[in-house]
Amino acid sequence: MGRLSRRPAQPDAPAGKPLALKTAAARPARPKTANRLKRIEAKRGAILDAALALFSRYGLHGTTVEQIARTAAVSKTNLFYYFASKEDVYVGVLSRLLDQWLEPLRDLQLDTDPIEGIGEYIRRKVLFSRTHPEASRLFCLEMVQGAPLLRHELETSLKQLVDAKAEVIRGWTAAGKLGPIDPYHLIFAIWATTQHYADFASQVDALLNTGLDDERFVEEVTRNVQRIILDGLRVRKDD
């Protein structure tokens, strides 16, 4: 390919398989003290933080490297010392993102009472929307645009996890502890409703003049989502 330069905007898509975060270790070898490595990771982290804030607001192509550098308080040239390209930064951000996004699902305690367990999951997802709105929005942006970079992870890590949790939900229903419901659509409904308050925050704000910044609203959202999702799932005699 010779001279590397700006590539056409489109093939965002071709996207390789594993989505591996190129670590500093890939750089020309040099004796690295623990301290040195720590400083490098700190700087990389600061750049990724700045990039998340910008990518989630303006998208990949709406954000310039210059902006990321300025926000992270490093020079543009310096940024290119830590990351091979803008796309490399983007991949780095997405990589951290998926882990964060998956965390509440991993922690979903399905070995308890279903109503309690699902209620707690909803609470944690709402909390995630509150504490990581930018992560939620960038994840959303990436999904909406076809998830070119995450597709592989979705089909492996995510699918495995979701399949396992779906099985437990089926078990609850079979045991008569939960009304009959398709577990996948239930999980989608929980994701959709809880993420909505982060992803569509501008719409919520336009209509209600508030958002997850307000702690009382967080409580209100949690209560209402729990009610909507759970009240139809209790076991009733008239079924």
Binding residues among 96-135 for a second copy as defined by CB under 8 A: none
For the packed helices 114-131 and 86-106, what is the interaxial angle rounded to 10 degrees? 150
Judged by beta carbon distances under 5 to 8 A according to partner kind, the member of DNA, a second copy, none in contact with residue 78 is: DNA
CA dist., res. 217 & res. 103, Å (int): 23
Per CB under 7 A, the list member of 71, 85, 100, 157 interacting with DNA is 85
Among 80-88, 98-106, 142-150, 154-162, the segment contacting DNA (CB under 7 A): 80-88
* Residue among 3, 74, 66, 19 at smallest CA distance from 44: 74
**76 contacts which partner out of DNA, a second copy, none, CB within 5 to 8 A by kind?**
DNA
- Closest CB to a second copy among residues 106, 159: 159
- Helices 183-199 and 159-174: crossing angle in degrees, nearest 10, is 120
| Helix pair angle (133-144, 114-131), 10° resolution | 100
Does residue 78 belong to the site contacting DNA (CB under 7 A)?
yes
Q: What is the CA radius of gyration of the chain?
A: 21
Partner in contact with 5, chosen from a second copy, DNA, none, beta carbon below 5 to 8 Å by kind:
DNA
Gap between the Cα atoms of 153 and 98, Å rounded: 8
Which CB, 80 or 191, lies closer to a second copy? 191
Q: What values do phi and psi take at 97, rounded to 5?
A: -55, -50
Query: In whole angstroms, what is the distance from residue 77 CA to residue 61 CA?
Result: 19
Partner whose footprint covers residue 48, from a second copy, DNA, none (CB < 5 to 8 Å by kind): none
Based on the shown chain and the rule CB under 8 A, indicate whether residue 171 belongs to the binding site for a second copy. no
Nearest approach in angstroms of CB 141 to a second copy is 6
Pick the binder of a second copy from 7, 32, 36, 57 (CB under 8 A).
Answer: 57
Q: Site residues for DNA, window 31-70 (CB under 7 A)?
A: 36, 39-40, 43, 63-66
The full DSSP string for 94-123 is HHHHHHHHHHHHHT--TTS-HHHHHHHHHH
Question: Does the protein bind a second copy through residue 217 (CB under 8 A)?
Answer: no
Q: Does 174 bind a second copy (CB under 8 A)?
A: no
**Structure-token pair, residue 30:** 């040099």
Structure tokens at 102: 């998956």
CB 129 within 8 A of CB 104: no
Of 49, 189, 214, 235, the one binding a second copy (CB under 8 A) is 189
With the C-alpha atoms ordered 158, 142, 40, 9, is the resulting torsion angle positive or negative? positive
Q: Which residues bind a second copy (CB under 8 A)?
A: 9-10, 12, 56-64, 67, 137, 140-141, 143-147, 151, 154-155, 158-159, 162, 179, 181-182, 184-186, 188-189, 191-193, 195-197, 199-200, 202-204, 206-208, 220-221, 224-225, 227-233, 236
